[in-house]
Amino acid sequence: MAWDEWERLKADAAARGSTGMQLNHVPSEPGGGGAGDLKSDKKAWTKAGEDTKGLQDGISKALGKLDHGQSGLGELSGVQSAAAQRELYESWKKYVGDVKGRCGELGGLMEKSGRDLSMTDAEVKAELDKVKDKYQDTEAVGGQAKGR
């Protein structure tokens, strides 16, 4: 997903009045620091996971509107613009579906972190890498000539 699109999605969520997340911690003493000073709030992780998974509802509605808007396209033969529009539709349908899946998986990972907080940094990174690999961004297809 393009970074600017992610930023737009976050801004939209903030505009809807989503509650913010705050990670509580103990202030470091001068010269101190390290993992012993960090406190994590299980409720904050769980809430962040729930909110991230909650994005799936809006995405499902958007997919429904996308499908509804595509339903009147009709026969594609002989009309290049209709074929191009179908290609764009299929590309966005997959992309938005992947965004929905990514929200579900990331939300689940955050909820799991909130429940047990027993994963090491390396384990969390490995789980995030799995999500990243599963949801590789798709190649841009819109506007390419493709021999036409």
Supply 119's token pair.
Answer: 């994963």
- Amino acid identity, position 106: L
**Residues for the chain: how many in total?**
148
| Domain boundary assignment for the chain | 41-71+81-136
Residue pLDDT, tens place only, 60-109 = 998 888 888 777 766 666 667 777 888 888 888 888 899 999 999 999 88
Residue pLDDT, tens place only, 120-137 = 778 878 888 888 888 877
Cβ–Cβ < 8 Å for 43, 114: yes
Q: In angstroms, rounded to a whole number, what is the distance separating the alpha carbons of residues 40 and 124?
A: 15
Task: Give this prediction's pTM.
Answer: 0.56
In the structure, what pLDDT confidence band is assigned to residue 138 with cuts at 50, 70 and 90?
A: low
